[in-house]
Structure 1
Amino acid sequence: MTPSLPLAVTMGEPAGIGGELSLKAWLARKPGDRPFFVLDDADRLTTLARDLGLDVPMQKIAGAAEAGEVFGAALPILSVKLRTTVTPGRPTPINAAATLEAIERAAALALSGEVAGLVTNPIQKKTLQEAGFRHPGHTEFLAELASTAGGKPVEVAMMLACPALKVVPVTIHLALADAVRALDSAGIVRVGRIAAAGLASLFGIANPRLAVAALNPHAGEQGAMGDEESRIIAPAIETLRRDGIDVRGPAPADTLFHPAARATYDAALCMYHDQALIPIKTVDFSGGVNVTLGLPFVRTSPDHGTALDIAGTGRADPASLIAALAMADDMARRRHT
């Protein structure tokens, strides 16, 4: 039986590949899939489908409740009007307001319980920031929206997940030198707690096992290559253990991601962005999914960027968006939505 509540899919950067991914994901739908609708500009999608030769009938909807009735025969569209014409591969800050409107409306629908969750197409952060956007990315923006709606701070963490590996970076969108300076025990503890709770609630893992990556080569070689392991990481691990979390480390990062090692944990806490993203994109580039842990609603996203270099060419691979939709559906079922 098809679930009742649909998923909301945001437009992402309109000059990127998000629209093409949404069209192709609808074409790849199967009987019994949870319906989804897109918050996007219908005229833009119609033009894009025509230019790419994709036979995707579309129908505007007035609200999320209509998506289920429409989805089998047409791609449901909850209209978000772009401010200017889109040129594939050439983002403009003029359309930033529409990109953010789609995210805000999708989050509001999730917070009100009208959708089972939201799946966000990739955004072009620099373009949004040129228009005054002050967040590093989706994760921080959605946390603020949820905090404002709930009247209290919402603590979140970013997870990248595929069937073979789940990773959670402690520091995210920082230059490497800044990430090292920002690393502290409190941050590791905060992310570890969110990761353990998310593995239980969203992935159904009753007793999550966490592995914590070292920062330095050879886990610091007993201080010969840095003392962050003993000074910052080990104390955080002890705190997490006192919380009752099954956690080990700090483990040398160069031996943490081979198949035998991956079998010993459910998620790896990584100290900086690339330490987390390089292994998962190597293991499963097309199937990786970005998950925001800690939100009061389900949010997933493809684990890739806007791919401006191939936007409008028809070469975009929808596998990661399809995986993000499937993972959001799984999580929503665990939340009984």
Structure 2
Amino acid sequence: MRHDLPLGLTAGDPSGIGPDVSLAAWLRRDMHDVPPFYLLGDPAMLSLRAGRLGLDIPITVVEPRDARQAFAAALPVVPLAARFADTPGRPDVANVPGIVESIDRAVADTFEGRAAGVVTCPIAKKVLYDGGFRFPGHTEYLAELAKIRTGVMARPVMMLAGPELRTVPVTIHIALAGVPAALTEADIVETGRIVAAELERRFGIARPRLAVAGLNPHAGEDGAMGLEDGQIVRPAVEALRREGIAAQGPLPADTLFHARARKTYDAAICMYHDQALIPAKTLAFDEAVNVTLGLPFIRTSPDHGTAFNIAGSGKAKPDSLIAALRMAGQMAARPAP
């Protein structure tokens, strides 16, 4: 990965706050040391949104190769074949082709040496589904695009990364009642392998330390509060250790995230969505970054949704997008493995 290349920023759903925070991130580029990026979007729609927000932002239409040079003076936009309507707060299925096109082209740019990585603005799954999108979400679609390019099906892993904490959920968007049946030793081991390898490769941590949370209160308390920790989580931790990975657990989740505990590990492997996301968002609500590990390219995104209710109002904060851009830039700057 060449760190002198710009980052490719996807449009996300244009009816949400993606355009708002993209414009704001460019405005704050010097204050926050934002690495050069280009936005895959509709220049006319972006100009309209800037006007709604009262922002005087020069927008220049570029090819990816020219984005870095243009970045200091104007927001570089690589135009899509599709067009967007500026309808903040009112998602429109007619925008789906452009939303998907922006993802396709950003990934193609990374594989073909035009971008250092992909940063994605938020999408709304319901709108995509209504438009015929057949993947559960962003991450699964990115894995499919990688498979088309490489012939290998990646196993993407979601990591929430903030200044003080990195967390990884093993199970993600499933009901809490379904977690015990869905949780397997193999999934915990595979997640741990990917996290350890990516922390070393992408973040420069020589021997990553993993803290593995228990599923039940008190990590099951020797079977008194559930058998899963002894039968599933503990064997997974032991398997990771046999592979030379510095893993510890299962550990009670209620004592895993305080300041002293956080100093003992580089990432916490959690058993379900909220176990990972609540501490990450509590510690860094505006700065947490969603990093997709396990893909053959860099992908980060802000840790928030489309926020249709405040789109076009000027209330959206760009902090998480700025953090996502900065993290992708830092990852791209690491020497190739």
Q: TM-score range by the shorter chain?
A: over 0.9
Query: How far 1:302 moved relative to its partner?
Result: 0.3
Mapped contact 1:3–1:34 kept (Cα < 8 A): no
Find the counterpart in structure 1 of residue 311 from structure 2: 311
Structure 1: unaligned runs, 5 residues or longer: none
- For 1:1-40, list aligned pairs within 5 A: 4-30=4-30, 33-40=34-41
Q: Which string of whole-angstrom CA distances, capped at 9 and with x for unpartnered residues, describes residues 210-256 of structure 1?
A: 00011111111211211110111111111101110000011111111
Q: Tell me which moved more, 176-185 or 45-54.
A: 176-185
Q: Which amino acid aligns with 1:35?
A: P
Structure 1 residue 221 and structure 2 residue 221: aligned?
Answer: yes
Cα deviation for residue 82 of structure 1 reads 4.6
Question: How do 1:109-120 and structure 2 match up within 5 A?
Answer: 109-120=109-120
State the percentage of identical aligned residues: 56
Partner of 1:48: 49
CA distance in structure 2 between the aligned counterparts of 1:208 and 1:140, rounded to whole angstroms:
26
**Aligned equivalents of 1:219 and 1:172: distance in 2?**
19
Q: 2:60 is matched with which residue?
A: 59
TM-score (norm 2): 0.96
Question: Which stretch of structure 1 is more off in the superposition, 241-250 or 26-35?
Answer: 26-35
Give yes or no for the alignment of 1:202 onto 2:217: no
Distance 1:164 1:184, change over 3 A: same
TM-score (norm 1): 0.96
Retained in 1: the 8 A contact 2:3–2:116? no
CA distance in 1, matches of 2:83, 2:4: 33
Query: Per-residue displacement from partner, 1:189-211 (whole Å, max 9, x unpaired)?
Result: 11100000111011110000000
- Consecutive unaligned residues of structure 2, counting only runs of 5 or more, are none
1:54-133 to structure 2, matched below 5 A, reads 54-61=55-62, 63-83=63-83, 85-133=85-133
Shift in alpha-carbon separation, 1:218–1:33, aligned structure 2, 3 A: closer
Matches of 2:112 and 2:318, distance apart in 1 = 28
Say if 1:160 and 1:80 are closer, same or farther in 2 by CA, change over 3 A.
Answer: same
Q: Any residues of structure 2 matched to 1:230-309 within 5 Å, and which?
A: 230-309=230-309
User: Deviation digits for residues 282-308 of structure 1, max 9, x if unmatched?
Assistant: 001011000011111111100111111
User: Post-superposition, which runs of at least 4 consecutive aligned residues in structure 1 deviate over 4 A?
Assistant: 81-84
| Structure 1 residues 36-89: Cα deviation after superposition (integer angstroms, max 9, x where no partner) | 00001111100000110111100111x210101211111011112555623211
SS at match of 2:310: coil
Which amino acid in structure 1 is aligned with residue 132 of structure 2? Answer: G
Contact 2:45 2:84 in 1 (8 A): no
Deviations 1:90-144 (A, max 9, x none): 1122211111110111011111221110110011112112222222222211111
Q: How do 1:116-195 residues align onto structure 2 when only pairs under 5 Å count?
A: 116-195=116-195
Change (3 A) 1:239 1:313: same
Q: Measure, in 2, the Cα distance between the counterparts of 1:64 and 1:179.
A: 43
